[in-house]
Amino acid sequence: MSRVVSSSEYLTPTYSNRLMSATPTTFGDRRRDGKRTRISKNEIPENQMAPKVAYRIIHDELSLDYNPSLNLASFVNTWMDEEARKLANESINKNIIDHAEYPMTARLHKRTINIIAKMLHADYNPDNPDYPKDAFIGTGCVGSSEAVTLGLLAHKRKWQIRNSERLALEPGSRPNLFLGGAYQACWKKFYIYFDVEPRIWRLDENRYVLTAENVKEAIENKIINENTFAIGLVLGNTFSGQMDEIKEINSIVEKLNAETGWDIPIHIDAAGGGFILPFTRPYLEWDFRLSQVQSINLSNHKYGLVYPGMGTIVFRDIDVVPEDLFCEVDYLGGSPMKDYGLNFSRGSYQVVCQYYNFIRLGRAGYKNIMDNIIDNAFYLAQELCHFDNFRLVSDNDLFPSVVVEHDEREFSAEKLAARLRQNGWFVPAYPLPENARMIKVLRIVVKENFSHDMINLFLNDLEDSLIELKREAQSGNED
């Protein structure tokens, strides 16, 4: 089966004839043979062409993309040092799964996981802080979506094993996953693709995170019960850029597990915040320092500051992942290897780039960058509060995704987003999740390259756009 692509263009092929037809070679006259042939776009062309010509055609078509530096919609990193690019190029032909062929790359992968696991206090030993634990495991993967999936699959399988006798007597029992309403799409993919019952706590109308009170109520109403195989909490949610009440919820779950003997694990989705808080607020406890947190995912390609294509999953203890989920592979040369991952082959350069960032920046470098990003986000948030169209939703002293509610009375948030796009700024407009769907927000993700100066340029364009849209609305020109 071919890979399912997310673009609706692929799922519903509605190309017009004009777009389907072949491309005349723009640079045809400059080819050595002087021929002016047409190149089919959606079928493999009959003949070959010079690399320079192929490059030029594609390069020019890609110039229709928006500029990644102005992509304020996404958390994904868009810039790295030249040296990192150089290393990426040097590793571009290495498959990370080939441990025997590329043992040094495999070592860098291990070091990277060790660094991340320790950053998340996976080596924390509450019984004796002088003797750190070394039972944690983890792996790099394609992104946080794969990492979340690996975390939840392990918990689901563990629940099945732990409850096998009861499940034999109650064949109708279905595993359920408890999470707050502000979850990212990858959680939905998990509960649909892996057939589990989602138990989603709807957001409060004016609070867009999962609170300790919500969890207490869910326990009292048996929404969290013996079939709950995991509780998912988010550090920096997609919609409002806020953090669930992780520490307080951990205490409640600890008590519940002690009283019932259920052993429900907490998985932390730290895709957005996992590389920020360890540097900006190291004393905040949301990671493996909390007793019930069994797994954490992060996106290296967000604030880990590497190019797209890497996430990480870390488990507190090797026992969290049931043995039968590891697949042994013995046909790659070298000694047999155990693997837990959804993919097999994948690129290795992201791991190399992540390791590069760790040694290049160190703790001090990451802290500098993250403090700077938070300062910039805070500045932007404060400035946005001066516009009477907006109400600030996000907590920007913690997370750099600046989310503002838009007053829809004169013109829509989408209209403002479209106007900003005319100047190259890509800002998404969307409703908050259920229970708060009437609230329309704009989200601006501050990344390393979005400097104080760039923010001021953005604010100028925003101000001009608002003046124009207000003028149009007042003169009745709005369509």
Q: Does 341 bind ligand PLP (CB under 6 A)?
A: no
> Which CB sits closer to ligand PLP, 256 or 270?
270
Instruction: Compute the CA torsion angle 436, 437, 440, 444 (nearest 10 deg).
Output: 70
Q: Determine which residue in the list 25, 91, 112, 145 makes contact with ligand PLP, applying CB under 6 A.
A: 145
* Shortest Cβ 142–ligand PLP spacing (Å): 7
C-beta atoms surrounding 31 within 10 Å: 15
Between CA 400 and CA 413 the distance in angstroms is: 20
Residues 264-323 that bind ligand PLP (CB under 6 A): 269, 271-272, 299, 311
Q: What angle do CA 196, 202, 207 make, to 5 degrees?
A: 140
Contacts of 356 (CB under 8 A, 6+ apart): 81, 83, 84, 87
433 binds ligand PLP (CB under 6 A): no
Distance CA 237, CA 178 (A): 16
Q: How far is the CB of 242 from ligand PLP (least distance, A)?
A: 11
250 binding ligand PLP? (CB under 6 A): no
Contacts of 474 (CB under 8 A, 6+ apart): 410
Q: Does 238 bind ligand PLP (CB under 6 A)?
A: yes
Residue 466 C-beta-side C-alpha neighbours within 13 Å: 16
Using CB under 6 A as the criterion, what x/- string covers residues 90-129 for binding ligand PLP?
----------------------------------------
Nearer to ligand PLP, 209 or 234 (CB): 234
Q: Which residues contact 85 (CB under 8 A, 6 or more apart)?
A: none
**C-beta atoms surrounding 80 within 10 Å:** 18
Would you count residue 350 as binding ligand PLP (CB under 6 A)? Answer: no
232 binds ligand PLP (CB under 6 A): no
Rounded distance between C-alpha atoms, residue 182 and residue 201, angstroms: 9
**Closer CB to ligand PLP, residue 184 or residue 348?**
184
151 touches ligand PLP (CB under 6 A): no
Q: Quote the least distance from Cβ 36 to ligand PLP, whole Å.
A: 43
Q: Tell me the site size for ligand PLP, rule CB under 6 A.
A: 14
Residue whose Cβ sits closest to ligand PLP: 143
Strands 390-392 and 401-406: antiparallel
Nearer to ligand PLP, 141 or 417 (CB): 141
Separation between Cα atoms, residue 71 and residue 417, nearest integer Å? 12
Q: Which of 9, 31, 11 lies closest to 20, judged by CA?
A: 9
- Span near ligand PLP by CB under 6 A; candidates 139-147, 157-165, 215-223, 258-266: 139-147
Residue among 138, 140, 143, 322 that touches ligand PLP (CB under 6 A) = 143
Q: In angstroms, give the least distance from the CB of 126 to ligand PLP.
A: 27
Residues near ligand PLP, by CB under 6 A: 75, 143-145, 184, 186, 234, 237-238, 269, 271-272, 299, 311
